[in-house]
């Protein structure tokens, strides 16, 4: 029993000792704090508190255990948690211990977080206890735990559209699943707030809708005629219900139903003469409706067939054109424009238009005979025949263009050019030879051009036995040559005809031509070269294109010979459009023919299967060539003068146009210039739009092609009068001259200055002037074969007859020829300057007349009184000082001299009453029947006289009636 008591006591003591040891041991820091290995946290952008899972709690085994409720345990500092330490660079968080005894802590943000900058943060954390000793130097650290913290987003940003505006094009009549997509973005970092949840069309009552992804489509079929463009305002919302900061504008263009063809084509293009080339299709492009094409070919045609001879060409005479193109001399024009020197074409109908070429119409009943001497009856080989012809359709009968046949007795055709069944045939019968063998006689060409009713240029170069034919500059070989015997020699004259063939045996015309001819020429002894032929055929208007460098290799362009059409080929639509936009119209004539030139563009498009996949309609329009500013050709100079009879009879003759001046002007409308100090009346006139423009004349330079001098009244009598000009001077200036009993004609395309110089050289000679008192001539000039004609400049030349002093010496009063003043270097006869008039000595008969008149006048003055005598004396003194000329009225049938009272004209600065009296006197003189020898001075000459000379001169008119005089 004692042993049991002992064992029980020992156990109690042991227990107490154990507890005491444990308490003692607790005071020693043996263990490290313990935390979880991983933590996950969440923090909001506008908050600093981090919610961790699991919570941040550190445990330490150095803390005493509680075995019973009644047993109180006192924690020592070795078991407390003193803090947490965060490891990492630039970690924006800190860990704070909330309760040391329990080890509870918290993590919080040091600064405001931005989810958009960093959505997640990862770092490590350690816990440490309070350690042993007063300074805690024996503290222990836990292991490092990983902390993941996610920054929660707040909806602080609104959606923003990626584009400032959107646009799309749709075709009418079609319902689209999607026309275009609008897209907005949100700068928030979270999925919820950064996503665009919906889009909305703000504009009301539009046939469009938008889905949540931003795709816009139409809710009904659109009509181009109803609306060509819609403007929509669209907004966006994010999933946080924030609306876009700015709405976006959407433009939707409505196109008509896609139809392949040329777009941007202006049907009317106006061309102003003298402006160079004009782009025809500056904005045109080809719409292919998105078809996959492989090649494009376009043919552009400019229709000018109705203009002159197929296009706008210079309308000078064909002979002048040959000369301008470099042809040698010897060309004879068989169809010239009607004139005084070439009148055999007068009866032929023409096109009645000088704007274009002079062409002649043959209706199957008309033909003309070419006068003898115009061209040699037998052509000297080689020779050339050229003609412009429009003919069609063909006929079974022969239609003769040119024919040289027997004039009488027989019907043999020596040579002819005719049309038969769309064949052009040249007949050339050789002259008789010693050996009468077959020789080539007919050359046949089968040509579509002969019967297509279009103008074509034909040139035949004949160098027997070969004949070369050029049609519009292209060479054609004869498909058939037939032979025949040479003609038998005869002495029958030949007749050259145009439009038919003369049958000498029947004395009638046959084989009439139906069509139009122009420019029929024959040149004997020389052939036309290709350069001249091309020049004659070349148009002055046509199409042109300047290829841009970047597309020159991608597109091919080809022209026809007269540049009235061109073909463009390529496979690149953009390059093709650029070439089309550079095609232009050009007319190099100074005065082009006004009117319409039709324009057509035909196009072929091929796809990958090398077949025509789309049909492009023909584009048609026209070029309107505006009326050019027409020139006014003015001839001016001295139109009335007198010369002594000796001058007319001299070898030099009398110069007809010594001071002729040729001027060409055009009239322009220009805006009127307003003076700065305009009056009130001018200011009021500014309201009237018609005052804003004024008309001015501007002198221009251009060529003439004809000047014609004709005698008015009787024709020139070759036995005693002629018009002459130095042929060397004419040829030196590149002109030609023809003369006849009607007058003289200068021809050739040349400057107005050269024509002036030659006209100055024209002299009139008359070696039988006894019965001649005056001669009148008319001059006019023209350009472009009569398209522009000058005024008729008329010149009157008076003959001053000087009586022989030995004849009728004692009968001076019976037959006075003429009274000629003696004190003037130039005579003013009947109010006109006598330019360079030779002074004639006063004959005795004239002196006697003057003495008798003066004596009679003085006697009359004495009877009237002293005052009248003094007045008459003063008037006589003025006559002597001013060099006045006397004019007398006589009737030589009764040999009675009538002296008119002299009238004194005061100076130009005299009173208005005297000026009115002078005007009345002049009007009275105009009312009298004045003969051709006493016409009044021209206004131009009066304007050219000095004022003091006009005031100082006093003119007396001399009237006569020579009906009863015999010379």
pLDDT tens-digit readout, 232-260: 999 999 888 889 989 999 999 998 888 88
CA distance 118 to 272: 73
CA distance 326 to 310: 22
pLDDT confidence of residue 135? 54
CA distance 425 to 445: 6
Q: Quick one: tokens of 698?
A: 């501007």
CA distance 445 to 419: 10
Mean pLDDT of the chain: 76
Contact in structure between 498 and 517 (CB atoms under 8 Å):
yes
CATH of domain 38-67+75-152: 2.60.40.60
DSSP code of residue 22: H
Contact in structure between 545 and 584 (CB atoms under 8 Å):
yes
pTM of the entire predicted model: 0.56
The candidate with the shortest Cα–Cα distance to 949, out of 907, 918, 915, is 907
DSSP code of residue 485: P
Contact in structure between 777 and 744 (CB atoms under 8 Å):
no
The candidate with the shortest Cα–Cα distance to 391, out of 360, 428, 346, is 360
Greater confidence (313 vs 929) lies with: 313
DSSP code of residue 959: B
pLDDT confidence of residue 217? 94
Greater confidence (88 vs 640) lies with: 640
CA distance 123 to 572: 64
Q: Quick one: tokens of 278?
A: 């004009």
Respond yes or no on whether the N-terminal peptide bond of residue 465 is cis (omega within 30° of 0). Answer: yes
- Give the confidence band of 389 by pLDDT, cuts at 50, 70, 90: very high
pLDDT confidence of residue 341? 73
Please state which of the four CATH numbers 1.10.1060, 2.50.20, 2.60.40, 1.10.3470 is assigned to the domain occupying 261-304+545-625.
2.60.40
What is the C-alpha end-to-end distance of the chain, expressed in Å? 216
3-state percent breakdown (helix, strand, coil) of the chain, nearest 5: 15, 35, 45
pLDDT at 926 over 80: no
CATH of domain 318-537: 2.60.120.200
Return left, alpha or beta for 671; rule: phi > 0 is left, psi -120 to 50 is alpha, else beta: beta
CA distance 151 to 757: 107
User: Which of 34-38, 330-334, 621-625 shows the highest mean pLDDT?
Assistant: 621-625
Q: Which residues of 554-590 are buried (b: 16+ CB within 10 A; e: fewer)?
A: ebebeeeebbbbbebbbeeeebbbbbbbbbbbbbebb
pLDDT at 756 over 70: yes
Distant-in-sequence, close-in-space partners of 851: CB < 8 Å, separation ≥ 6: none
DSSP of 748-809: EEEEHHHHHHHHHT-EEEES--TT-SEEEEEEEEEETTTTEE---EEEEEEEE----TTTTT
Diameter of the chain measured on Cα atoms: 227
- E strand or H helix at 871, and its extent? helix 866-882
Among 217-221, 588-592, 735-739, 840-844, the minimum mean pLDDT is found in 840-844
The candidate with the shortest Cα–Cα distance to 395, out of 357, 370, 362, is 362
pLDDT confidence of residue 856? 67
Tens-place pLDDT, residues 415-473: 899 999 889 999 988 776 656 677 888 999 999 999 988 889 999 999 888 899 999 88
Distant-in-sequence, close-in-space partners of 631: CB < 8 Å, separation ≥ 6: 591, 664, 665, 666, 700, 702, 783, 788
The candidate with the shortest Cα–Cα distance to 523, out of 381, 419, 656, is 381
CA distance 707 to 341: 12
CA distance 944 to 638: 12
Tell me if residue 734 falls in helix, strand or coil: coil
pLDDT confidence of residue 98? 85
Find the Cα–Cα–Cα–Cα dihedral 310, 315, 318, 321, rounded to 10°. Answer: -100
The candidate with the shortest Cα–Cα distance to 743, out of 718, 708, 792, 773, is 708
Greater confidence (798 vs 673) lies with: 798
CA distance 19 to 65: 11
Helix pair 866-882, 844-864: axis angle to 10 deg:
150
- Residue 526, Cα to own-chain centre: how many angstroms? 41
pLDDT at 840 over 60: no
Q: Quickly name the fold that domain 160-255 has.
A: Immunoglobulin-like (2.60.40)
From residue 224, alpha-carbon distances to 233, 249, 266 in Å are 21, 21, 21
Q: Quick one: tokens of 935?
A: 């016409």
User: Which of 82-91, 386-395, 724-733, 819-828 shows the highest mean pLDDT?
Assistant: 724-733
Tell me the backbone φ, ψ of residue 6, rounded to 5 degrees: -70, -45
């Amino acid at each position: 029993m004692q042993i049991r008591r002992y064992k029980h006591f020992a156990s109690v003591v042991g227990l107490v000792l154990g507890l005491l040891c444990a308490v003692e041991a607790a005071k020693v820091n043996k263990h490290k704090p313990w935390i979880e290995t991983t933590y996950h946290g969440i923090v909001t952008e506008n908050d600093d508190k981090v919610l961790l899972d699991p919570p941040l709690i550190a445990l330490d085994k150095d803390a005493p255990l509680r075995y019973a409720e009644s047993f109180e345990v006192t924690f020592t500092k070795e078991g407390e948690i003193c803090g947490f330490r965060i490891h990492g660079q630039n970690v924006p968080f800190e860990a704070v211990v909330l309760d040391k005894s329990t080890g509870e802590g918290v993590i919080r943000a040091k600064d405001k977080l931005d989810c958009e900058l960093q959505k997640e943060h990862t770092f490590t954390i350690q816990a440490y206890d309070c350690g042993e000793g007063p300074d805690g130097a024996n503290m222990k650290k836990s292991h490092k735990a990983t902390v993941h913290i996610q920054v929660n987003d707040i909806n602080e940003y609104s959606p923003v559209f990626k584009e400032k505006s959107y646009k799309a094009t749709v075709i009418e009549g079609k319902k689209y699943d999607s026309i275009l997509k609008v897209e907005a973005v949100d700068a928030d970092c979270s999925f919820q707030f950064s996503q665009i949840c919906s889009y909305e069309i703000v504009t009301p009552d539009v046939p469009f809708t938008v889905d949540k992804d931003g795709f816009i489509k139409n809710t009904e079929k659109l009509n181009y005629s109803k609306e060509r463009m819609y403007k929509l305002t669209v907004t966006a919302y994010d999933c946080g219900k924030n609306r876009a900061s700015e709405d976006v504008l959407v433009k939707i263009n409505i196109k008509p139903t896609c139809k392949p063809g040329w777009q941007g084509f202006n049907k009317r293009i106006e061309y102003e003469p003298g402006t160079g080339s004009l782009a025809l299709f500056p904005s045109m492009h080809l719409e292919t409706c998105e078809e996959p094409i492989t090649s494009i070919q376009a043919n552009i045609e400019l229709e000018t067939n109705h203009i002159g001879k197929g296009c706008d060409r210079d309308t000078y005479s064909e002979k002048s054109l040959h000369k301008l193109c470099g042809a040698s001399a010897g060309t004879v024009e068989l169809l010239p424009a009607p004139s005084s020197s070439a009148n055999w074409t007068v009866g032929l109908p023409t096109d009645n238009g000088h704007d274009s070429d002079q062409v002649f119409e043959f209706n199957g009943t008309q033909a003309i005979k070419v006068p003898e001497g115009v061209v040699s009856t037998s052509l000297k080989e080689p020779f050339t025949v050229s003609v412009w012809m429009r003919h069609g359709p063909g006929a079974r009968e022969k239609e003769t263009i040119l024919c040289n046949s027997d004039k009488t007795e027989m019907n043999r055709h020596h040579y002819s050019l005719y049309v038969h069944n769309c064949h052009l045939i040249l007949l050339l019968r050789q002259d008789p030879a010693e050996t009468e063998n077959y020789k080539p006689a007919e050359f046949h060409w089968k040509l579509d051009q002969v019967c297509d009713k279009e103008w074509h240029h034909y040139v035949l170069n004949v160098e027997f036995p070969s004949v070369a034919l050029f049609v519009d500059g292209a060479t054609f070989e004869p498909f058939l040559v037939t032979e025949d015997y040479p003609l038998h020699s005869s002495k029958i004259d030949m007749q050259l005809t145009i439009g038919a063939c003369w049958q000498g045996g029947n004395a009638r015309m046959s084989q009439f031509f139906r069509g139009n001819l122009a420019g029929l020429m024959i040149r004997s002894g020389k052939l036309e070269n290709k350069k001249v032929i091309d020049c004659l055929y070349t148009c002055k208007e046509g199409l042109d294109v300047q290829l841009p460098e970047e597309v020159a290799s991608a597109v091919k362009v080809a022209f026809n010979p007269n540049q009235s059409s061109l073909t463009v080929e390529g496979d690149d639509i953009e390059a093709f459009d650029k070439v089309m936009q550079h095609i232009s119209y050009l007319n190099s004539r100074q005065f082009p023919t006004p009117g319409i030139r039709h324009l057509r563009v035909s196009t072929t498009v091929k796809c990958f299967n090398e077949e025509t996949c789309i049909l492009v309609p023909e584009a048609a329009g026209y070029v309107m060539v505006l009326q050019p500013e027409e020139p006014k050709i003015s001839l001016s100079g001295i139109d009335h003068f007198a010369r002594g009879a000796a001058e007319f009879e001299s070898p030099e003759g009398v110069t007809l146009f010594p001071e002729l001046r040729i001027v060409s002007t055009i009239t322009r409308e220009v805006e009127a210039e307003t003076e700065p100090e305009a009056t009130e009346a001018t200011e009021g006139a500014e309201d009237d739009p018609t005052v804003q423009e004024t008309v001015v004349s501007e002198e221009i330079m251009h060529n003439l092609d004809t000047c014609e001098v004709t005698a008015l009244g009787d024709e020139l009598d070759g036995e005693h009068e002629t018009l002459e000009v130095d042929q060397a001077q004419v040829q030196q200036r590149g002109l030609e001259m023809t003369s006849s009993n009607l007058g003289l004609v200068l021809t050739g395309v040349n400057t107005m200055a050269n024509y002036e110089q030659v006209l100055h050289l024209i002299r009139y000679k008359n070696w039988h002037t006894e019965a001649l008192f005056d001669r009148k001539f008319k001059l006019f000039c023209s350009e472009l074969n009569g398209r522009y004609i000058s005024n008729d400049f008329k010149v009157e030349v008076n003959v001053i007859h000087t009586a022989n002093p030995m004849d009728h010496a004692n009968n001076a009063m019976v037959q006075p020829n003429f009274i000629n003043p003696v004190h003037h270097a130039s005579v003013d006869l009947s109010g006109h300057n006598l330019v360079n008039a030779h002074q004639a000595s006063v004959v005795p008969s004239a002196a006697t007349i003057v003495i008798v008149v003066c004596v009679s006048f003085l006697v009359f003055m004495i009877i009237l009184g002293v005052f009248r005598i003094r007045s008459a004396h003063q008037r006589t003194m003025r006559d002597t000082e001013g060099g006045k000329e006397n004019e007398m009225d006589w009737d030589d049938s009764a040999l009675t001299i009538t002296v008119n009272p002299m009238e004194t004209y005061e100076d130009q600065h005299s009173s208005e009453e005297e000026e009115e009296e002078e005007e009345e006197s002049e009007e009275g003189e105009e009312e009298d029947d004045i003969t051709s020898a006493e016409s009044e001075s021209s206004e131009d000459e009066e304007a050219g006289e000095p004022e003091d000379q006009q005031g100082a001169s006093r003119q007396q008119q001399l009237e006569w009636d020579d009906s009863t005089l015999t010379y």
